[in-house]
Structure 1
Amino acid sequence: MLPYLGKSGALRCTLLAGLFAAGPLLLAGPSVGAEVILTDAAGAPLANAVLLVDAVPAAPQQMYVMDQVERQFLPQVLTVPVGALVDFPNSDDVRHHVYSFSDAKPFELRLFKGSEAPPVTFDRAGAVVLGCNIHDAMVGYILVTESPQFAVSDASGRVSLPDLPDGNWPVSWWHPSQFQQAPVSLGELDLSTPGQTLSLPVTAAPAEPAPALSPLQQRFKTGY
């Protein structure tokens, strides 16, 4: 036997039954998130391009990592907010000597392995070009930005901004081909349209042969 609900309880049950009969209950509120494909001037997917959006801030990240794997920086392009700490672990079995002469953050981490190097604070907006004093083929980039939302495109050119609210927001972009130049504005865009593609005026550069090692690099190539 069901408990007696009284008139108000019976009315609530009747209303709920009507809602479930009409279909699932939908909560009001704007949808969030954007997924965009970036292409170069020829229409090919563009990897390692940064999309910057001046929208409401996303959840902050506490630590950023620029690793060194198989004598390459990983990731090749890292984007961080102004004031971020970046850790530089060395996952190789040889020593690296990381440095930058960029105006946004000149610094040097002398020969180190593993987690010996201290984290570096990036406190000024701009593009920071990284190198290794031992391995000339190692080139990486850290874009330090005041934009509250940003993401780097993957190998398929895909950029994901899961916390982006609906609406038109100021959008800009940056790519390693710009070297230390500032990001380029695209104006105010609505990125919420599914499958949206943005073509950027970037031309793929031909691959260059790896430079020969200098006597100093030959001396230290084994990490000693």
Structure 2
Amino acid sequence: MKTKPYYAIFTLCISFLVTFAVQAVEISVKLTDIDKKPVADLVVYLVPLEEQNLENLTPTSLMINQTDKKFNPYISVILKGMPVIFNNEDDITHQVYSTSTSNRFSFRIKSERTKSIEPLKNTGKILMGCNIHDWMSGYLLVLNTPLYTKTDHQGVAKFDVKQTGRYTLSVWHPQLLAENQTISQNINIQSSDIYNISLSNKLADIPNQENPESFDFLDDY
């Protein structure tokens, strides 16, 4: 009889600890350039350094549009092994290809059609182009973590981290003037926090996404 109150307290403590362990914390990452201005469309991702369980965080498939003879968005990101769908919103055909040797694809996609490609099995950046409209370019970053997003117009990326612990925080952009276009730092996430990162250089210019000619003789393709 005397042990029952202690058993009840012990059970309550265990329940509290489990609830606390799985409670999500919100992490914000704010990116600014050398002029202290916010930088949008930077890929920000977290890679766990401990045995955090990320199995329940698998994102959905990715859709990349071709709109007005451009890849929309210019930068996309996906977890390795997840489906990628291309959606041609133009009234012309595109011949989409990748320059990656480890994630190679090439296909023709007609107007107002979609095309699914095989799940990408290797991590890394993929430069995409169009053999018909050679000024078109876009990037797809394949990661081995589901914890990724892009900065908004305020230069802010937000995460709901389900498990605390040590992570590598990385920032990537194809025009980032850094080794492998990436900057990284290790962080220890224990509670909600804001991480301010200031880029040491401005981004390089994004290649022109318009037809350089005054006319487009390939419109009929």
Band of TM-score, shorter chain: 0.7 to 0.9
The letter of the residue matching 1:49 is L
User: Is the contact made by 1:127 and 1:182 (CA closer than 8 Å) also made in structure 2?
Assistant: no
Question: Which residue in the other structure is 1:212 paired with?
Answer: 212
Output the CA distance in 2 between the equivalents of 1:87 and 1:132.
16
Counting only pairs closer than 5 Å after superposition, residues 109-188 of structure 1 correspond to structure 2 as: 109-178=107-176, 181=180, 183-188=182-187
Instruction: Supply the AA of the counterpart residue of 2:108.
Output: R
Contact kept, 8 Å, 1:34 with 1:164, in 2: the verdict is: no
Structure 1 counterpart of 2:25: 32
> Which segments of 5 or more consecutive residues in structure 2 lack a partner in the other structure?
1-17
Question: Out of 70, 78, 98, which is 1:100 matched to?
Answer: 98
SS of 2:175 mapped into structure 1: helix
1:78 aligns with 2:76: yes
Counterpart Cα distance in 2 of 1:97 and 1:140: 13
1:4-23 Cα shifts (integer Å, max 9, x gaps): xxxxxxxxxxxxxxxxxxxx
Instruction: Pick closer, same or farther for the CA change 1:136–1:65 going to 2, 3 Å.
Output: same
Tell me the CA shift for residue 154 of structure 1. 2.1
Larger Rg over CA atoms: 1
**Matched residue count:** 195
**Residues 123-154 of structure 1, C-alpha deviations (whole Å, 9 max, x = no match):** 11100011122223322111111134111112
CA deviation string 1:26-49 (max 9, x = no partner) = x96244222222122332211221
- Provide TM-score, normalisation by structure 2: 0.73
Alignment of 1:11-26 (within 5 A): none
Quote the Cα distance in structure 2 between the aligned partners of 1:86 and 1:188: 31
Equivalence for 1:52: 45
Task: Give the CA deviation at 1:206.
Answer: 4.4
8 Å contact from structure 1 (residues 65, 89) kept in 2: yes
- Structure 1: unaligned runs, 5 residues or longer: 1-26
Alpha-carbon distance between aligned partners in 1 of 2:61 and 2:72, rounded to the nearest angstrom: 15
- Note the C-alpha offset of 1:80: 0.9
Displacement of 1:181 in angstroms is 2.8
Q: Which amino acid aligns with 1:212?
A: P
Structure 2 vs 1, CA of residues 31 and 123 (structure 1 numbering), >3 Å: closer, same or farther? Answer: closer
RMSD: 3.0
Q: Distance in 2 between matches of 1:133 and 1:174?
A: 26
Secondary structure of the structure 1 residue equivalent to 2:27? strand
Read off the aligned partner of 2:38 and give its amino acid letter: P
SS in 2 for 1:181: helix
Q: 1:174: how far off?
A: 1.1
8 Å contact kept, 1:54–1:171: yes
SS at 2:103 equivalent: coil
Task: Give the fraction of aligned pairs with identical amino acids, expressed as a percent.
Answer: 26
Give the CA deviation at 1:208: 5.9
Q: Deviations over 1:36-85 (max 9, x none)?
A: 22122332211221112113426212311111122221222111111121
Q: Give the aligned residue type for 2:212.
A: A
Aligned partners of 2:163 and 2:78: how far apart in 1?
A: 20
User: Under a length normalisation based on structure 1, what TM-score does the superposition of the two structures give?
Assistant: 0.73
- Report the secondary structure of 1:92's partner residue: coil
Distance in 1 between the 2:113 and 2:61 partners? 14
* CA 113–202 in structure 1, closer or farther in 2 if over 3 Å, else same: farther
